[in-house]
Chains A and B, each alone.
Chain A
């Protein structure tokens, strides 16, 4: 199986592209075959990623596995270097898993204009970009994949989006491009300082060869690139617009995977490559993170549109992830990776629900909705389940992203100011109450109470087959991760320990 080991990551990255090419050959009218090809492609990709997970050596999760290192662009000594460790693996699986769910969900839910071929092709391109970002071990390669993601999402919002789609898509594109530009500058600066783009090599150096002040400047560039993607306060304003306008599947992918590219960038590149700068920047990262937690929650309370509320809740939840990262400790970064996966599943699923509710009632205004539990009980219960998961109820996935982050903030890295982080901890804990506030408030307005007269006569059907198939695995995972968090902690522990040991001396 050596063949598999050296080709697995390449396969998982480029199978979607191959699938897309096959799909492009099929005439537009043969919708069924197009859907089948798209589904097969994503399922095969998922299968390969599961095979990777099965062959992954969990006792050596700290080092790179399935490593491939070939020359790519020799002139700038950029190499095709891919590999995964314990931090990438969960995110890789999350990506391939959510994409399958998205394709199944789209089966008969294509938003207007109804053009499955283009829509599915974009999803596949998106998958390549997302997977590639998580496995790239070369700064340029990382950047390329990071940018590939932008285009399909831009078109997805711009073509299949809501009434205000052009504004939202352009805002999304420009905002993230703006950040990427600075990020690229940062990458180039790293290259000129060290002479290499190779991430493991740079991590091993742990900032040697780059003086402190330069590190800080470079970190600023990377920070802009990643923080906009996360998004951190105050760079988050593209997110609600993009989410509100994007088609359901677009929102799901945006929330579930795209936002993680930013936090993953922090963990994979910013922290290990520039550890001294990370220590200088961490209090500020933490500050923005807790502001995001409170701010996102407050903004949620002012929303009337269900989908927009969920979008703002992402700002709050990614705040917890960033708080975990800012502590620069084992516990904090483990919590962050867990938080990424949990948020991906839960919020992604919430967007599925918001989409389905909007589709059934033709509105997502919470003041007009009500009594979901009466009309479509299953949909209502799932909404309740997810609201609970999202507000961090122990026993469901959300808790293990939040609680350890709070735990870590009490005791951050020794070099960091203790009192500051302890105040952050208290603020973050207050944030959990606000989270309960807006989520249950939403649940009350949407699911409880009586059906509004306007929809009493509407024939609203409960969850259909495609929705069941797409959703039930996600729901199961939310429960399974909550009950037995070692599914993820067991994978990430070694990798995170190695990361912090190299970067911050244990």
Chain B
């Protein structure tokens, strides 16, 4: 299967065409084709994963021998990884020849691809099943499934691509599908606006990606081949300038696609699409394409940004800013999907930051675990809205009792997201923080901890508003049908157990062993598990829940801080208040984060960044209009018309000669003959 991995991507692509042409005639509107295709892809992905693990284990010659499957082996204690090299499995066919260069289309299968194949096909399959119920009765049901299939095909192509060119193909097709799916209900202007915004913003990032690919093509001596590029980067066969410019360019691509600061604004808007799409595109697959790119071409970034040297670099800084900014914004949202969207931004920020500080494995591991719990949260929010027909958390509340399954899966995933021991998020987040501390990136260690605190706090708020308290809506909520609940539980189970694949505390390094490349890969520092740090980060998360709980649930801390003029009575209040410490925490920490910082960030987001985006749009329109009206129509076209007019006027003068009277012509003729003959006479 490893050599024939293209089949995994090909099946959904075929399914896209089948649904498109025959879907409407099928009894279930084409959804059965999509589910069957994704089921097949998933099975093949699992086969590929098993084969890969098998290959790794047998190459290492360790005990274990034949792997039984990802989860079954999870608790198996691995021996020393050693320095054995497991080459990625490459397969390619000649695609076309361009200027004497044979461009090949091929697949590159290694631990990273296999992991991504597994995640993408699993989440996609679950989303397909979920959608049969969620999208029931939609006017474009068939079309929706066609687009889902195409989306899966593109994403699978992206992750198995063996050349940057094929990766670009998958990358752009993913963008196309996000456009189609976000704008699924295009009758509403807001939805198509969101779709356009998503496409433009990611496309802006794609400028960077395209330029980066071009630079690497020539830097590597005329090839798009990823293993070659990586190898040359590791062995120092490319100049530092090439590597640095390429990494900066590619980073711009990552920023665009993965919703990083400052190009993250499209992601919350993209929640206009149907909820299963949000789960698929904005949690588990599309937005992590950027992270995947970073992981895939890691040697380039590693050398280009001097990641081994510590200090600051663009990638880590961008990721770090995004962690904080995304999390802060999640506090002030009332739309449950937007909370999750900002949370996604923040979590992807973690991954990018991890790549930036040299924590390759931690980034990829977080990508893996995040896919489970974030997809679960999105699908859970969809299940809630299925019941109450709104995404506004102010109209929810108390759903714990009517929707127990949704509630429990949501709680599990929220805790996993918040990083509670021993759920998935704990292990991956801890690994990021741990590596940042060990690799001379202390600053980002702090950022990571602050982010963890904020994550726990906003998820507490979100869960509280949705599931606790009194019901505030007008609808009559009910539990969702099985097609929705089954995917929720499967993902919840993943959110619980996925982290154990690399539970370093118990000396389990399976994920490292299986996924981390052993060839053409830079020397990254992998620190030992640190108990104090783990305990501390767990406590930070717990504190986040506690503080948020205190504020939202028990109403502690003053309300309406922003409306009150506190300065006059500040000293008095300061003395009189018994809960000085509580005040300190709630007002200063939570309050400022929730109040000015979050609001300020949001204001900055909406007015400055979004404003710049909008202004760039309108400005371009104006420049366009100016170019057209003044330069094109008046100056360029005007001068053309002027020349024509001048010719016309000259002709106008001559027309008096042309009276049409033959006799006048004859007169002119004879007169000129006369003049000429006189001239002749006098000349002689």
Binding site for B on A (CB under 8 A): 171, 174-175, 234, 237, 295, 297-303, 329-332, 334-335, 371, 373-374, 388, 393-395, 399, 403-404, 406-408, 410-411, 425-426, 429-430, 432-434, 436-437, 440-441, 444, 448-450, 484-486, 489-490, 493, 496-497
Contact = CB atoms under 8 A, between A and B. Distances in A.
Contact of B214 (A234, A388, A425, A449): A425
Contacts of A449: 186-187, 189, 192
Contacts of A408: 99
Nearest to A329: B99
A215 B99 CA distance: 27
A438 to B, nearest CB: 9
Contact of A448 (B98, B176, B183, B199): B183
Nearest to B620: A301
B96 A489 contact: yes
Contact of B624 (A301, A448, A490): A301
B657 to A, nearest CB: 24
A53 to B, nearest CB: 18
Interface string B167-188: 0110011001001000100110
A271 B180 CA distance: 43
Contacts of A425: 211, 214
B486 interface: no
Interface in B615-630: 617, 620-621, 623-625, 627-629
A374 B187 contact: yes
Given A403-B210, A433-B207, A493-B97, A448 B192 contact: yes
Given A234-B636, A430-B207, A334 B98 contact: yes
Contact of A433 (B169, B176, B204): B204
Contacts of B627: 295, 298-299, 302
A36 B620 CA distance: 49
A436 B620 contact: no
B637 interface: yes
6 contacts: A395-B173, A406-B214, A425-B211, A489-B98, A493-B97, A497-B100
Contacts of B100: 330, 493, 497
B196 A444 contact: yes
Interface string B203-222: 11011001100110110000
Interface string B302-332: 0000000000000000000000000000000
Given A302-B625, A403-B210, A237 B640 contact: yes
A490 B95 CA distance: 10
Contacts of B4: none
B173 A444 contact: no
Contact of B203 (A299, A371, A436, A493): A436
A332 B97 CA distance: 13
B99 A334 contact: yes
B632 interface: yes
A404 B101 CA distance: 12
A58 to B, nearest CB: 12
B644 interface: yes
Interface string B82-107: 00000000000011111111000000
Contacts of A426: 207, 211
B97 A490 contact: yes
A410 B218 contact: yes
A432 B210 contact: yes
B489 interface: no
A425 B169 CA distance: 19
Nearest to B94: A486
Contacts of A301: 620-621, 624-625
B204 to A, nearest CB: 5
Contact of B628 (A302, A395, A407, A444): A302
B391 interface: no
Contacts of A331: 98-99, 101
A394 B624 contact: no
A505 B660 CA distance: 63
B552 interface: no
Contacts of B168: 394, 403
A433 B172 CA distance: 12
Given A395-B173, A450-B187, A298 B96 contact: no
Interface residues of A, dominant DSSP: helix
A394 B169 CA distance: 5
A426 B245 CA distance: 13
A302 B622 CA distance: 8
A46 to B, nearest CB: 25
Contact of A486 (B97, B192, B625): B97
Contacts of A374: 187
Nearest to A238: B640
Contact of B632 (A171, A237, A432, A444): A237
A434 B96 CA distance: 28
A484 B95 CA distance: 7
B629 to A, nearest CB: 7
Nearest to A411: B218
Given A434-B620, A448-B186, A449-B186, A394 B172 contact: yes
B99 A496 contact: yes
A458 B276 CA distance: 36
A171 B623 CA distance: 26
Contacts of B95: 484-486
Nearest to A332: B99
Contacts of B617: 437
B408 interface: no
A174 B98 contact: no
Nearest to B637: A237
Contact of B98 (A237, A295, A441, A493): A493
A147 to B, nearest CB: 21
B624 A300 contact: yes
Nearest to B189: A449
A158 to B, nearest CB: 16
A373 B187 CA distance: 9
Given A301-B621, A448-B183, A449-B186, A436 B200 contact: yes
Contacts of B625: 301-302
Interface string B124-136: 0000000000000
B59 to A, nearest CB: 35
A407 B203 contact: no
B636 A237 contact: yes
A408 B101 CA distance: 12
B644 A298 contact: no
A423 to B, nearest CB: 12
Contact of A302 (B98, B211, B621, B637): B621
B421 to A, nearest CB: 44
Residue among A335, A399, A408, A493 with most chain B CB within 10 A: A493
A486 B196 contact: no
Contacts of B207: 426, 429-430, 432-433
Contacts of A330: 98-100
3 closest A-B pairs by beta carbon, nearest first, are: A330-B99, A486-B96, A331-B99
Contacts of B186: 373, 444, 448-449
Interface in B651-674: none
Nearest to B635: A234
Nearest to B201: A433
Nearest to A438: B624
A369 to B, nearest CB: 14
Residue among A388, A448, A449, A497 with most chain B CB within 10 A: A448
Residue among B101, B193, B196 with most chain A CB within 10 A: B196
Contacts of B644: 174
Contacts of A393: 172-173, 176
A410 B214 contact: yes
